[in-house]
Amino acid sequence: MCMGYKDNTTTTMAELSPLTKQEVASMLVQEIAKKGDEIPDNFLHKDGIPEAIYDPDLWRNDLLIDFSLLSSSSTTELAKLRSALSQWGCFQVINHGIEVSFLEELIEVSKQFFALPLEEKLKCFEAFQGYGSDTYSFKPKTSNWNDRIFLSLSPKEKVNLQCWPQKPQNFRIMIEEYSKKLTTMNEVMSTAMAKSLNLDENCLRFGKREPASIRFNFYPRCSSPKRVLGSKPHSDLTTLTYLLPEKDVEGLEILKDDKWYKVLPIPGALFINFGDSGEVMTNRVFKTSVHRVSTNSVKDRISVAVFFSPKDDEEVGPASELISANQPQVYNKYIMSEYLRAFFESYKLGSGRPLDAFQI
Ligand code: OGA
Ligand code: NI
């Protein structure tokens, strides 16, 4: 099971036919990189990539949140959280209570997975979940220099255990444990976000749910970092994304006022960003964060992203408390599945913002 399928429609599961191992391998960046320094055309950003600003102080001050202070409802920390989310849509969090040794082990087992023989990894291959590449799943105009394991975690109907790695041995258990730890953390975070806006604790409906999915990103070193991106500019479809980047390798960059900023990895910290669903639910009081991943020619890079998002059949709309004369309603309500169609279309084209379709 979990062998490949050829997909003619790109955004639906329809009309899938078996795919050979060679065809799958030809789309995996790790396999392409093994062949030599030549980069296939579909990865090249021919007009170049705008440079990013390096401002380490930003990450040591304004965008560094102490989770233990949020838990104790510190007024200054809540104000800092509010400011980070309304201006940047992201921050890094320390003192979050998840053991650093656990996070390091998670990165380590991810590395071990991507180092397995192709044959073993392909046991977890399927069109949209498991091991593979988005080039294969979505046929974008320009491809990302990235392979991944993408796994649905909830609701239960979407979980496909056949795509879950069996090796390394402790991988599955670690995913389950990490998911539990982040569920607890996300509940505290959601409450803190509501409090920072003087809202009722449950107002934002971000908490009290499990993550929807997890994504292990592998970005092999790249011979042409000036013309290739690990991930093109995008916003996540989530309420909140929790990202664990490898501690010694930079790559993540965020956009603010048309300028790109490098994210400085803080040892032991998690990077948290707001997604499109969060922007809609807060009536754009908190902003989605547009981000991208650069490549480098020296080191491979791993990251683990956990996504909290509304269910496909859920209605997404602004909290009424956040609509006012000063802040009129920005987006019409929609069902999550309607948004997902717009999301995949814009991903494929590499242009447009999925939320534009719902703007009032
Ligand atoms: C993502 C993402 C950033 C990174 O998986 O959506 O933006 O640093 N990842 O890997
Ligand atoms: Ni992202």
Q: What is the CA radius of gyration of the chain?
A: 20
Judge whether 5 lies within some domain: no
- Please state, in angstroms and rounded to a whole number, the distance separating the CA atoms of residues 230 and 303: 11
Judge whether 128 lies within some domain: yes
Would you state the pLDDT for residue 66? Answer: 98
Q: What is the pTM of this model?
A: 0.94
Q: Are 153 and 211 in contact (CB under 8 A)?
A: yes
Question: Ligand 1, residues 110, 231, 292: which to mutate, most atoms within 8 A of Cβ?
Answer: 231
- Of the listed ligands, the closest to the CA of 244 is 1
Q: Is the pLDDT of residue 16 over 60?
A: no
Residues touching ligand 1 (Cβ under 6 Å) are: 215, 217, 231, 236, 243, 245, 251-252, 291, 293, 303, 305
pLDDT digits (tens, 9 = 90+) for 45-61: 999 999 999 999 999 99
Would you state the pLDDT for residue 19? Answer: 66
- Of the listed ligands, the closest to the CA of 289 is 2
Cα 163 off chain centre by = 19
| Three-state DSSP state, 240 | strand
Among 54-58, 138-142, 253-257, 308-312, the minimum mean pLDDT is found in 138-142
Q: Whose CA is nearest to atom 6 of ligand 1?
A: 236
Q: Are 331 and 359 in contact (CB under 8 A)?
A: yes
Domain that holds residue 78: 21-358
Judge whether 161 lies within some domain: yes
What is the tally of structural domains in the chain? Answer: 1
Tokens read off for 125: 């291959």
Distance 33 CA to ligand 2 centre (A): 23
Judge whether 88 lies within some domain: yes
Q: Whose CA is nearest to atom 10 of ligand 1?
A: 303
| Three-state DSSP state, 236 | coil
Judge whether 3 lies within some domain: no
Judge whether 250 lies within some domain: yes
Judge whether 12 lies within some domain: no
Of 104, 131, 121, nearest to 167 (Cα)? Answer: 121
Judge whether 292 lies within some domain: yes
The CATH number that applies at residue 263 is 2.60.120.330
Confidence label for 18 from pLDDT (cuts 50, 70 and 90): low
